[in-house]
Amino acid sequence: MAGRYSPIGVFDSGVGGISVLGELTRTLPREDFLYFGDNLHAPYGTKPEEEVLGYVRGVMEHLLSRDVKAVVIACNTATSVAAATLRAELALPIIGMEPALKPAAEQRKGGQILVLATPMTLRLPKFQALYQRYGEGAIPLPCPGLMELVETQAFDQARRYLQELFLAYDPARVDAIVLGCTHYVFLRPILREILPPHVLILDGNAGTARQLARVLKQRDLLSDQGGSVTLETSGDSSLILPLMESLLARA
């Protein structure tokens, strides 16, 4: 039976959720975290919805077998596909991701907001509802293949990808970039280099960490001891775990 000293499960289709894990460990340094990257089935963002839901169920089964007290879906696509279903089926807290469109809209100065995300995240009802409420001036930009460049740490190629993506837009008229995929957070230094200083770069990681802290407090599940991180993958551990460790240090 999971209690306040049980670990918190965190998962993503690959290594992108490590950017969320970094934020979670800063916000809740006394918690134990178990991170699972489903690299065997990455990417989620270009696959059919039913297929992704099947993979998420498999990951949840694994995390529940490890007696987690809460789960953070550190992936915008998996949140859009599975969060509501999992919450209806399970009693433990399920915390998801949301593209930071609301804070971008609140800070908009009349310019454009470019929302970078996987094709599926932009297509699903969760984003569409967010877009209806806060989408004035926002331009959704599907980025197929960009997540894989982060997975393989092909940052030079990612720089070229982003430079080509932005060619159609006048940077002087852009107020904010919303990073709607947890993998893209690792591209923040590149984005900062290629965009003018006035352009805000926003992601949902801090909001997710605050929400987890709120829910744990409400349910009296906050730990006052611990602080460990365990990394796991469904892919090749010898290749992926060192990558996860280096990205966690970067995060």
Half-sphere exposure of 99 (CA within 13 A, CB side): 35
Catalytic hit among 114, 162, 181, 202: 181
User: Do 72 and 9 meet the contact criterion of CB atoms below 8 Å apart?
Assistant: yes
HEC string for the chain: CCCCCCCEEEEECCCCCHHHHHHHHHHCCCCCEEEEECHHHCCCCCCCHHHHHHHHHHHHHHHHHCCCCEEEECCHHHHHHHHHHHHHHCCCCEECCCCCHHHHHHHCCCCEEEEEECHHHHHCHHHHHHHHHHCCCEEEEECCCHHHHHHCCCHHHHHHHHHHHHHHCCHHHEEEEEECCHHHHHHHHHHHHHCCCCCEEEECHHHHHHHHHHHHHHCCCCCCCCCCEEEEECCCHHHHHHHHHHHHHHC
**Is 181 in the active site?**
yes
**Is 143 in the active site?**
no
Catalytic hit among 59, 72, 73, 75: 75
Question: Residue 110: what residue type?
Answer: G
Spatial separation of the C-alpha atoms in residues 61 and 72, rounded to whole Å: 14
- Residues labelled as active-site residues: 75, 181
